[in-house]
Homo-oligomer: A and B are copies of this chain.
């Protein structure tokens, strides 16, 4: 096959994001431990966060609003202004965090960018995601950065239309089966799965068929350079 463009997911594909969220969860659980056990705190926050995705979308600001809502619920209205302030700070620290690049990312992008146009397609909050790409020092390797609200088949279809791309010459690399892999395979594109160390519960996919045409899996992004000539 001809490859016209390789697109990368960002969070947990190019850099660690889950560790930042896990740190935040730990701090949140500590604040709420005066009222509830760890499991209840975790479960309630996850439920509120999931319920809010349609309204708030993804990203740190949405997550902070869900933490505050969960704090009111979990404390049965007893949470103090001081604690609320601490939760606001958890969110602000997340927004200011450096997201550490995953091993091999810089070298791989440097090699590949000499041969193919590269793009980022990432879900989440526009300001947060563009800030992270800029801070990562990877901006120059990409010809475009697309921040989208959801990664459905329709989203990829619209992006391919916008960039005048044939799905058969499009390769997507990412850690999420439902967001990065399945919609691209369904459109006739090629998808390369790079599982993350930890996988966010929203990103699991029980019924994924790993025997699908044009599906590849590698252990880490450094293996991409060797894989691409084989699927060409």
A55 within 8 Å of B (CB atoms): yes
A78 to chain B: closest residue by CB: B81
Q: Contact: B88 with A84, CB < 8 Å?
A: no
* Chain B min CB distance to A57 (Å): 4
Q: Contact: B79 with A81, CB < 8 Å?
A: yes
Q: Contact: B82 with A77, CB < 8 Å?
A: yes
- Binding site of A, secondary structure by majority: helix, strand, loop or mixed? helix
A71 to chain B: closest residue by CB: B81
A96 within 8 Å of B (CB atoms): yes
- Residue from A57, A69, A82, A126 whose CB has the most chain B CB atoms within 10 Å: A126
Tell me the A residues contacting B by CB distance below 8 Å.
55-57, 61-62, 64-65, 68-69, 71-72, 75, 77-82, 84-85, 88, 91-92, 95-96, 125-128, 130, 144, 147-149, 162
11 contacts between A and B (CB under 8 A): A55-B92, A61-B62, A61-B65, A65-B88, A72-B81, A72-B85, A79-B84, A80-B81, A81-B84, A126-B149, A127-B149
CA distance A168 to B68 in the complex (A): 48
Are A57 and B88 also in contact (CB < 8 A) when A77-B80, A81-B72 are?
A: no
* Chain B min CB distance to A102 (Å): 24
- Residue from A62, A127, A128 whose CB has the most chain B CB atoms within 10 Å: A127
CA distance A88 to B87 in the complex (A): 14
CB contact between A126 and one of B57, B71, B72 (< 8 Å): that residue: B57
Having A57-B127, A78-B81, one finds 10 other A-B pairs with CB under 8 Å, namely: A56-B61, A57-B128, A69-B88, A71-B81, A72-B88, A75-B81, A77-B80, A79-B81, A125-B125, A126-B147
Q: Contact: A84 with B55, CB < 8 Å?
A: no
CA distance A147 to B125 in the complex (A): 11
Contacts of A147 in B (CB 8 A): 126
A150 to chain B: closest residue by CB: B127
Contacts of A69 in B (CB 8 A): 85, 88
A148 to chain B: closest residue by CB: B126
* Chain B min CB distance to A161 (Å): 10
CA distance A69 to B64 in the complex (A): 12
